[in-house]
């Protein structure tokens, strides 16, 4: 199977305005060809979103028939195209610098001990990191082959799978880096944080499963080809075990209250509705 240079993976669920925003930024700041591709994964949203995606002919589009958690969608992207580098991209990025992708990939080319890098986020500390999120993060394929992809058994609300992946990478000697403000990769990340922050649950990493990724799971990463074009995947991703919750309802309510204070509710009604479903 021919290896391409890079694959950008964009996940979408409900927020069509944000998807349109980030795709326009990606087209403005990057070029796409047979060596540098983009995949949009829709974890099913609305008929309007599906109609929008059906018109896209410059990206690989995967339409799921069921809702899957974020780490399962990232993993599906990693597994479907054989690429030297993978870049995860959130839809709440409103601004990117022209040429950011090439600068990130060149940095990885020149620093073979680094497993993943994050684009520069103003007001966050650049340099070596203990944890990388998935906002606009480039991963080296060899790192996935060494430690595996995201663990899909983490509970769905708090998504400590990226913290777990970062810890596994560091345990095997891989370095994690956020690029500085002179790197030409600065972004405007609207809602989230991109790493090096204290998580809500201080025991998240100390309590994480010391699970060794099965060798066949790592090998599976290289075995699924994907041709360009619009496809519908009915049986897209396996569900690995039961969902595991580590929090009391009181803790969940407290965290959701903090989120709701920060979110502009008139601009994000779907997200507000989703969060309120978890609050009792």
Q: Tell me: the pLDDT tens digits for 229-275? A: 333 333 333 333 333 344 566 766 777 777 777 666 776 676 677 66
Tell me which residue of 218, 213, 280 sits closest to 253, measured CA to CA. 280
Concatenate the DSSP letters of all residues of 188-234 into one string.
Answer: EESS---BS---SSTTTTTTS--PPPPHHHHHHTTS----SSEEEES
The reported pLDDT for the residue numbered 209 is 40
Q: What is the C-alpha to C-alpha distance for residues 52 and 46, in angstroms, rounded to an integer?
A: 10
Q: What is the C-alpha to C-alpha distance for residues 238 and 63, in angstroms, rounded to an integer?
A: 15
The reported pLDDT for the residue numbered 248 is 60
pLDDT tens track for 100-125: 999 999 999 999 999 999 999 887 88
* CA dist list (Å): 60 to 36, 115, 263: 11, 25, 31
Concatenate the DSSP letters of all residues of 244-272 into one string.
Answer: ---S-HHHHHHHHHHHHHHS-TTT-HHHH
The reported pLDDT for the residue numbered 67 is 62
The mean pLDDT of 196-220, rounded to a whole number, is 38
The reported pLDDT for the residue numbered 131 is 84
Rg for the chain, CA atoms, rounded: 18
pLDDT tens track for 34-54: 999 999 998 777 888 889 999
Please, are residues 33 and 58 in contact by the beta-carbon 8 Å criterion? no
Average pLDDT, the chain: 76
SS3 state at 72: helix
Q: Which residues pair with 195 in a beta bridge?
A: 132
* Residue 21 predicted with pLDDT over 90: yes
Q: What is the C-alpha to C-alpha distance for residues 167 and 182, in angstroms, rounded to an integer?
A: 27
* Residue 197 predicted with pLDDT over 50: no
* Residue 61 predicted with pLDDT over 60: yes
Report the percentage of the chain scoring pLDDT > 90: 36
The reported pLDDT for the residue numbered 192 is 57
Q: How confident is the model at residue 158 (pLDDT cuts 50, 70, 90)?
A: low
62-66, 101-105, 213-217, 238-242: least confidently modelled range: 238-242
* Residue 145 predicted with pLDDT over 70: yes
User: Nearest 5°: phi and psi at 26?
Assistant: -65, -40
The reported pLDDT for the residue numbered 274 is 66
The reported pLDDT for the residue numbered 87 is 98
* Residue 176 predicted with pLDDT over 90: yes
Token couple for 140: 């080296």
* Residue 206 predicted with pLDDT over 80: no
Residue ranges and CATH numbers for the domains of the chain are 4-239 (3.90.550.10), 248-280 (no CATH)
Concatenate the DSSP letters of all residues of 121-139 into one string.
Answer: -TTS--EE-S-B-SSEEEE
Q: How many CB atoms lie within 10 A of CB 220?
A: 15
């Amino acid at each position: 199977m021919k290896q391409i240079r890079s694959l950008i993976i964009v996940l979408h669920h409900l927020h069509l305005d944000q998807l349109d925003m980030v795709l326009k930024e990606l087209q403005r700041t990057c070029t796409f060809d047979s060596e540098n591709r983009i995949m949009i994964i829709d974890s099913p949203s609305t008929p309007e979103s599906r109609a929008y995606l059906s018109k896209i002919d410059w990206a690989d589009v995967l339409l799921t028939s069921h809702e899957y958690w974020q780490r399962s969608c990232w993993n599906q992207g990693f597994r479907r195209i054989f690429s030297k580098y993978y870049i995860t991209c959130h839809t709440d990025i409103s601004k990117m610098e022209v040429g950011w992708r090439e600068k990130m990939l060149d940095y990885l080319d020149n620093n073979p001990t680094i497993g993943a890098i994050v684009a520069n986020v103003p007001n966050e500390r650049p340099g070596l990191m203990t944890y990388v999120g998935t906002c606009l993060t480039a991963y080296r394929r060899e790192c996935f082959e060494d430690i595996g992809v995201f663990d899909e058994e983490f509970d769905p609300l708090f998504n400590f799978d990226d913290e777990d992946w970062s810890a596994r990478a560091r345990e095997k000697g891989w370095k994690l880096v956020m690029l500085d403000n002179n790197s030409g990769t600065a972004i405007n990340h609207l809602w989230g944080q991109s790493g090096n922050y204290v998580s809500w649950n201080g025991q998240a990493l100390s309590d994480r499963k010391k699970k060794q990724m099965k060798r066949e799971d790592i090998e599976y990463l290289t075995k699924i080809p994907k041709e360009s074009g619009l496809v519908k995947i009915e049986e897209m991703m396996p569900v690995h075990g039961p969902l595991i919750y580590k929090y009391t309802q009181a803790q969940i309510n407290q965290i959701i209250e903090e989120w709701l204070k920060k979110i502009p509710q008139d601009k994000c009604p779907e997200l507000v509705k989703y969060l309120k479903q978890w609050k009792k």
